[in-house]
Structure 1
Amino acid sequence: TPKPTKLSSYLFSCVQPQLQLGAVSEALQSGSGLVWVVMQRRLFFRRRLPVSRRALSRSLHVPTEQRAYVDGEWIESRTGRTFEVRDPANGKLLAEVPSLSVDDARRAIQAASAAQEKWKKESPERRAKLLRAWYDEIVGPMRDEIAETMTLECGKPIAESQAEVAYAASFVEFFSEQVRRINGDILPTPSENKHIFITREPVGVVAAITPWNFPAAMVTRKAAPALAAGCSMILKPAEATPLTALLLAKAAERAGMPPGVLNVVPASRVDGQQIGEVLCRDDRVRKLSFTGSTEVGKLLYRSCADSVKRMSLELGGNAPFLAFDGCNVEAAVKALMANKFRNAGQTCICTNRVLVQKGCQEEFLEVLRFEMSKLNVGHGLNLDTTIGPLISMKGKEKVEGLVCSAVAEGAQMVELPGYSETGFDGTNFYPPSLLIDVQPSMSIAREEVFGPVVSVTTFSTEEEGVNLANDTPFGLASYFFSGNTAQCFRVAGALEYGMVGVNEGLLSTAVAPFGGIKQSGIGREGSVYGVDEYLEMKYQAWNPLV
C-alpha cells in the first residue's frame, strides 16, 4: 500500500504515468502549480488543473483497518482471497482487502443472529448512548481519516467527502434520539372488558448492500435506524469502496458497540454475488436493504421471495429539472450546479434531464454555460477540484457512449469558455459537458447518465413539461423552478416522484424520508418514518376476564 506524505508530490506522481498515454504530453512544475496536457479527440478539459498551495500539506491518512469485521473481530477471509482497492483518479493501489467467502458470510449471519437476541432486549437508553458514542467518534477523532479515505477510494473532491462525513453522522445522531420515540398504541375495542395493544418490535437480523458513490452516508442511513430499532446488521459494502465502511465499523467498535451487532463483509464481485445469494436466502436474515441499480435490485427482490423478507430498495433514477418561464434563472442555475455536479454527476438523485421552457431558454443557457466554465477537473485531494474522476473506465465509457450517440442523433455540444480539446486518454476523468437540442427519445434522456453531462430539452407549455418529466419508468427525485405559486402547487402535485424539489435543488437530509416510486424502489430511509422500515407491528387482543 503506497504511503504518500505530501499532497503535491503525491499528485505529481499520480499523473506522471498518465502523461505517457497521450499523443502529445507536457508536464511542468511551476510556482503556480502543476500543468499537464494530453491531446485527445472529443473531450473537453480545462487548460489548467492547478495543484493548490492551499492543498492538504500534512501527511495523508492511510486507512488503518483493511480487514473484515465480524462478531467484533477483525478477520481475513477463510479462503485467503483478497481484492484490490485503487484510486480511480490514477489507478494507484490503496489496499488489498479480504474477499470474504460464503462460509465467512454464514459466520457473520450466525454472529448477527446471536447478537440480535441480546441487542433487542437492550434498553432504549443504552442503544441511544451507544449510537451517540458512534456519532462522536465519526465527527471527532476519525473525521479526517474517513473523509480522506473516501476521496482516495471514491474520487470525490475532499470538500464533498468532508460534507458527507457530517451527513453520514447526522443519521446516527438523529436515530440516537429517535430510539426513545419508538412507541406502541392502545386501540378502542368493540367489546366490553377487552383491550387491544399494539407494539412495535425489531424485524430481526438485517442485511444491507451499499453502493460506492456515498460510501459513508449509505452505511449510516441503513445501519443507524436498524440499530436504533434493535436489529443487528450484516453490511456488504461496494467492491470499489470498502475502506470507508471498515472505518465506520472501527468507529462503532471504539464507541463500544457489542460484538455481532454490526458486521462488515467486504468481497470481490464474484464472491460478493455469492454472498448476496446467501443473505437473500438465509431464513435468519429477516430484512434486506439495498441501494444500487434497478437491474440488481430486481434480482435481489426475486431472490428474497422464497423467504418473504422485508425489503427496502433505493434504486435508479432519471431526475428531471424543469425551469419555467418567469422563474429566477440565476437561482435555478445555481441549484442545478449544486445538484448536478456533486460527485461528478454520479448520484441517483442528481439531475439527468434539464427541461427548459422556451421563454427563458436563452437566458438559462447563457448563465449555465458561464457557471459550468468555472468547474475544475482534477484529483479530489486538490482543494481547487470541483470535479473528480468517474469511478471506473467502464463508467466513463458508458458516459462517452451516451454523449456520442446523442451528438450522432442531432444534439449539439456547447463549447465552454476556458476549455479546450485536451484530456486524459486512458484515465477515468470526464469533462463537464453541455448538450442542447436533446430529444426525449435519445438514450441520454432515457438512461441514467452518471456523469458530469447536462442535457437540455426545451418545451412550450406547462402540460408538455410535466409530461416530459413523467415520461420515464423511474420516480425517485425531481426538481423545478417557478415564480408562480399556483403553478408550484400544480406541478408539485403532478410530478410522479417520491421526492420533489420546489425552487430547491438539494433534497438530502436526515430528517426527511428519502425514497422513490415506480421502478425507483420501495420504502423510505431517514426521518421519523425511516425507523418503521426495521420494525414489525404486533397486535395483542386481551381478555383479562378469562
Structure 2
Amino acid sequence: MIPLRHFPSSISFRVFAPRTLATRHRPRSTLWYRMASTTNTSNWGLKDPTLIKMQGYIDGKWVDANGGETILVTNPATEEELGTVPEMGPEETEVAIAAAAKAFQTWGKTTAKYRHDILIKFFRLMQEHHDDLARIITLENGKTLAEAKGENVYSASFLEWFAEEAVRTYGEQVPSPLSNVRNVVIKQPVGVVSILTPWNFPSAMITRKLGAALAAGCTAVIKPPPETPFSALALAELSRRAGVPDGVINMVTTQKNVQEVGREMCESKVVRKVSFTGSTPVAKSLYRMSASTLKKMSIEAGGNSPFIVFDDADIENAVEGAILCKFRGSGQTCVCANRIYVQSSVYADFASRLAEKVATFKVGNGLDETTTHGPLIHDRAVSKVVRHVDDAVALGASVLVGGHSPDTTQTKRIGSFYPPTVLSDVPITAALNREETFGPIAALIKFDTEEQVIAMANDSDVGLAGYFFSRDVGRVWRVAEALEVGMVGTNTGLISNASIPFGGVKQSGLGREGGHSGIEEYLNQKLIAFGGL
C-alpha cells in the first residue's frame, strides 16, 4: 500500500491547448438523393465498410442536405478526418417528420408479433456486426475498443428487450358500477416521436429510445450528435436490412442548425412525443418548446452523482466500484460518480488504494489494446476538466495522481487527452461539487456522520444516480431511501441494463427508459366503454 501523501502531483500525461472544433462545414453537391457516398471508407478497418454512411436517412433513402453543406467529423484521439455528414436544417427535418407521419399510418397498425420479429432481426444484425459497430464507436467517440464492444452489447440488448415487451403491452377490463356497461382499456402508440441523443453513448442512447418506440408502434425522427453520427447511421442501415419499412426511422444530421432543427422536432404538431438525453439546460429549452403542443416528454438530463464510502464498507470493493463508476468512458457518463464522500476513519486507506490503481492507467488511442482510457470528446471537454481541477486546487485540494502542471498546459500534442486524476481534501465549495464534470476526476471529500453525508449528497438540483458502500443492512436501507436520486447502487458501481427503469428526479429529468415501464412512455391509454349490454 502506498501512503496517501507519497503520490506524485502528476503522472506522465499532458494537457493540451484547445485546438479548432472537431467539426466544420464544407460545401457539397446539392443533389438530394444519392444512394451511396463516394468517400473512401477502406481506412476504417471494417469487415463491412458499407455500414459507413455519410448522408442523412429520410423515408428509406440516403440523402444530402438541401444546401449541400457538410459537417467534418474527426477522431478525438488522432484528429484524423473520418468523413462528413450533411448539415441539414428545418426543411429537411420537416420532410423527415412528414415521412414518419406517413409511415405511422401503416406501422402503427402492425401486430405486436410483427414488430417483435423485426426487432429481433435488428438485434441479431447488431450481434453479427459486433466488431464493426464497436470499431465505429471507438473511432468517432474515442472510448477504448473494449468499452465500445460493451456498449454494442448494451445497445443491442434494448432491441431484444423491447421486442419481448412489444407482445406484452396488455390492456385491462375495469369493473363498471353499472350492470349494462363494460369498461375496456387498450394501449395505442402515441405516433411520431422525436429522438435527440448525446455523443457519450452514440449507439445505446439511440436504441434505448428507438427500441421502445418501434415496439410500441411509433415512428421516429432522430437527431444524432454531430460528434458521433456514424454509429447512428450504421444503425439506420441495419434497420433497413432488418426490414424496418421506409419512413419508420429517419435521421437528420446537423451542427450549425441544431437550434432550428430542435425547434422543428419539438414544436411540430405532427410530432406527439419528444425523447431527449443531454444536459439540463438543453432539456429545459426543449421542454419549453414542446409545451406549445403539450407533447409527451421523456428527459434524461444532467447528473451529479454522489458516491459514498462508509467506515464499515469493504474498502477494496469500494475502490473497484469507484473505478468502474468514475472512470468508465473517461468519466464521460451521466451516472459517473461526481462527488466521492469517504468517512474520516477510512479516508486515507481508500484514497491511497484508489490513487494506486489510477496511477496504473494508460491513456491513449482506444484502438490500442494496451490503452485503458481514451481521449475526451473534444478540447472544450478538456478545458472544463482543467477548470475544475484548477478551482479545486486553488481552494486547497491536493492532487494525488494525474492533474497537470502550469508549464505543460500550452504544450501541443495531437488528441483531446487528460490524465485520470485523483484529488483529495476537496472543499465542498469547489465548482465540481455544483457542476457535472464529465471527465476523469475523482474528487474525494471527507465526512463524519451518516446524517452529514446524506445532507451533502442531496445538496444538488439534480438527482440521477447515487452510490454507496456499506455492509450494515440497516444503513443500506436508510441511505438508499434517503438519497434524492432516481437510481441507487449499493455496493456496486454499475447499475444500468435493459431490464431496469433508467431515469432521475429533480432536474435530472422526466419518465423512465428501459424496464417494463419504458415502453409505456410511447403508448397512450384509451378507454372503450361498451354500453347497452
Structure 1 distance, partners of 2:201, 2:412, is 26
2:210 to 212, 223, 229: 223
Superimposed CA distance per residue, residues 440-473 of structure 1 (whole angstroms, 9 cap, x where no aligned partner): 1210111100110000001000101111111101
Q: What does 1:100-139 align with in structure 2 at a 5 Å threshold?
A: 100-139=88-127
Q: Secondary structure at the match of 1:304?
A: helix
Other-structure match for 1:184: 171
- Which runs of 4 or more aligned residues in structure 1 lie more than 2 Å from their structure 2 counterparts after TM superposition? 42-47, 61-64, 419-427
Contact 2:382 2:418 in 1 (8 A): yes
- CA separation of 1:43 and 1:113: change in aligned 2, threshold 3 A: farther
The answer to whether residue 60 in structure 2 is matched with residue 60 in structure 1 is no
Cα displacement (A) at 1:146: 1.2
Q: What does 1:435-514 align with in structure 2 at a 5 Å threshold?
A: 435-514=423-502
- CA separation of 1:421 and 1:438: change in aligned 2, threshold 3 A: same
Q: What does 1:366-381 align with in structure 2 at a 5 Å threshold?
A: 366-381=352-367
Contact 2:194 2:274 in 1 (8 A): yes
Contact 1:44 1:432 in 2 (8 A): no
Other-structure match for 2:12: 45
- CA separation of 1:536 and 1:397: change in aligned 2, threshold 3 A: same
Q: What does 1:329-344 align with in structure 2 at a 5 Å threshold?
A: 329-344=315-330
1:304 to 290, 293, 297: 290
Q: Secondary structure at the match of 1:254?
A: helix
Structure 1 distance, partners of 2:69, 2:468, is 49
Structure 2 distance, partners of 1:81, 1:504, is 46
Contact 1:229 1:535 in 2 (8 A): yes
The answer to whether residue 252 in structure 2 is matched with residue 285 in structure 1 is no
Other-structure match for 1:99: 87
The answer to whether residue 140 in structure 2 is matched with residue 173 in structure 1 is no
- CA separation of 1:538 and 1:456: change in aligned 2, threshold 3 A: same
Structure 1 distance, partners of 2:186, 2:223, is 30
| Equivalent AA in structure 1 for residue 510 of structure 2 | I
Cα displacement (A) at 1:43: 6.2
- CA separation of 1:59 and 1:98: change in aligned 2, threshold 3 A: closer
- CA separation of 1:215 and 1:395: change in aligned 2, threshold 3 A: same
Superimposed CA distance per residue, residues 308-327 of structure 1 (whole angstroms, 9 cap, x where no aligned partner): 11000000000010000111
Q: Secondary structure at the match of 1:181?
A: coil
Identity level (%): 42
2:196 to 204, 209, 218: 209
Other-structure match for 1:350: 336
Q: What does 1:246-325 align with in structure 2 at a 5 Å threshold?
A: 246-268=233-255, 270-325=256-311
| Equivalent AA in structure 2 for residue 168 of structure 1 | S
- CA separation of 1:536 and 1:356: change in aligned 2, threshold 3 A: same
Q: What does 1:402-421 align with in structure 2 at a 5 Å threshold?
A: 402-415=388-401
Cα displacement (A) at 1:44: 3.6
Other-structure match for 2:6: none
Contact 1:44 1:422 in 2 (8 A): no
Contact 1:196 1:542 in 2 (8 A): yes
Q: Secondary structure at the match of 2:214?
A: helix
Structure 1 distance, partners of 2:131, 2:311, is 44
Q: Secondary structure at the match of 2:257?
A: helix
Structure 1 distance, partners of 2:320, 2:298, is 32
| Equivalent AA in structure 2 for residue 396 of structure 1 | V
Q: Secondary structure at the match of 2:516?
A: helix
Q: Give the gaps of 5 or more residues in structure 2.
A: 1-8, 15-42
Other-structure match for 1:24: none
Contact 1:480 1:502 in 2 (8 A): yes
Other-structure match for 1:19: none
Q: Secondary structure at the match of 1:529?
A: coil
Cα displacement (A) at 1:544: 2.9
Structure 2 distance, partners of 1:146, 1:397, is 29
Other-structure match for 2:39: none
Count residues in correspondence.
Answer: 491
Cα displacement (A) at 1:422: 6.8
Cα displacement (A) at 1:416: 6.0
Other-structure match for 2:346: 360
| Equivalent AA in structure 2 for residue 235 of structure 1 | I
Q: Secondary structure at the match of 2:291?
A: coil
Contact 2:10 2:401 in 1 (8 A): no
Contact 1:480 1:503 in 2 (8 A): yes
Contact 2:224 2:251 in 1 (8 A): yes
Contact 1:412 1:436 in 2 (8 A): yes
| Equivalent AA in structure 2 for residue 307 of structure 1 | T
Structure 2 distance, partners of 1:75, 1:137, is 23
The answer to whether residue 354 in structure 2 is matched with residue 387 in structure 1 is no
Structure 1 distance, partners of 2:72, 2:325, is 31
Structure 2 distance, partners of 1:420, 1:134, is 50
- CA separation of 1:522 and 1:136: change in aligned 2, threshold 3 A: same
Q: TM-score, normalised by structure 2?
A: 0.90
Superimposed CA distance per residue, residues 181-238 of structure 1 (whole angstroms, 9 cap, x where no aligned partner): 0010000111111111111110110000000000000000000000000000000001
| Equivalent AA in structure 1 for residue 81 of structure 2 | L
Cα displacement (A) at 1:350: 0.5
The answer to whether residue 511 in structure 2 is matched with residue 517 in structure 1 is no
Q: Secondary structure at the match of 1:301?
A: helix
Alignment root-mean-square deviation, CA: 1.8
| Equivalent AA in structure 2 for residue 387 of structure 1 | H
Q: Secondary structure at the match of 2:183?
A: strand
Cα displacement (A) at 1:365: 1.0
Contact 2:185 2:528 in 1 (8 A): yes
1:89 to 77, 83, 90: 77
Q: Secondary structure at the match of 1:341?
A: helix
Q: Secondary structure at the match of 1:311?
A: strand
Q: Secondary structure at the match of 2:512?
A: coil
- CA separation of 1:59 and 1:391: change in aligned 2, threshold 3 A: closer
Other-structure match for 1:14: none
Structure 2 distance, partners of 1:437, 1:362, is 10
Structure 2 distance, partners of 1:144, 1:84, is 24
Other-structure match for 2:522: 534
Contact 2:10 2:400 in 1 (8 A): no
Structure 2 distance, partners of 1:308, 1:490, is 38
| Equivalent AA in structure 2 for residue 45 of structure 1 | S
